[in-house]
Amino acid sequence: MFFNTFLRGSLFSLLLIILQACNDLRSPRPNSEPTGDTATRIIHNEGGTILVDSLHKNLRVYLKHHTKLSYPRNNPDVQHVSGEAYIEKDSTPASNGITVVFGETAALLTGYCYFNISPLTCLKHAHSTTQNKVDLITIFRGYAWVKNHKRPAFYLRENEQALVYPDTIIISSIRKDNHEKN
């Protein structure tokens, strides 16, 4: 008797969870305007929308085009964002590498990352556009770890690129490049 009641309750709970998951999948994606109290500012709206969540320190990116995002260094609307960046795309990426930009005037690193393997450095074809020292980028299961940081600086899915300045993080889908894998 008790077992039957418990089983029925468990099945009912499972059904509710499935219905909620289906409802979440049907929910519309966020539009270009911040919603709620935590989405404080749109810091870029070209080729997608970047919302800064000041409460959870998350950078949420919704991309619509393969657009390389960039900012002037004196842009007052750009603020430092720490935490994880989640990327959702509407289009298919053109390459299987990522590009990461660091430094005072930005040093360009291009490398191919192999996900779901072991921690590895994603700098097989690294080159720098400046003489600035560039922090080491390590990819582990999609998380990008910056040297001397205890937490991931941002989260990258395959085929994404990130422009990272001292006071901002800019994410976009990667463009097809001519680098060859080693």
More confident of the two residues 21 and 136: 21
Is 50 exceeded by the pLDDT of residue 18?
yes
What single-letter amino acid sits at 93? P
Kindly report, residue by residue over 136-165, the tens digit of the pLDDT.
Answer: 333 333 344 443 333 444 444 444 444 333
Average pLDDT, the chain: 37
Contact 154, 139 (CB under 8 A): no
Q: How far apart are CA 161 and CA 7, in angstroms?
A: 48
For residue 10, CA distances in Å to 13, 18, 30, 156 come to 5, 12, 33, 37
- Among 118, 97, 117, residue whose Cα is nearest residue 162: 97
Per-residue model confidence (pLDDT) at position 15: 66
Mean pLDDT of 115-137: 33
Mean pLDDT of 114-128: 31
- Among 162, 144, 161, residue whose Cα is nearest residue 153: 144
More confident of the two residues 21 and 92: 21
Contact 61, 85 (CB under 8 A): yes
Kindly report, residue by residue over 24-78, the tens digit of the pLDDT.
Answer: 444 333 333 333 322 223 333 333 333 333 323 333 333 333 333 333 344 333 3
Element (H, E) at 21: helix 2-26
Kindly state the tokens that stand for 82. 């720490």
Contact 171, 85 (CB under 8 A): yes
Q: How far apart are CA 66 and CA 100, in angstroms?
A: 15
Mean pLDDT of 88-106: 28
Q: DSSP character for 1?
A: -
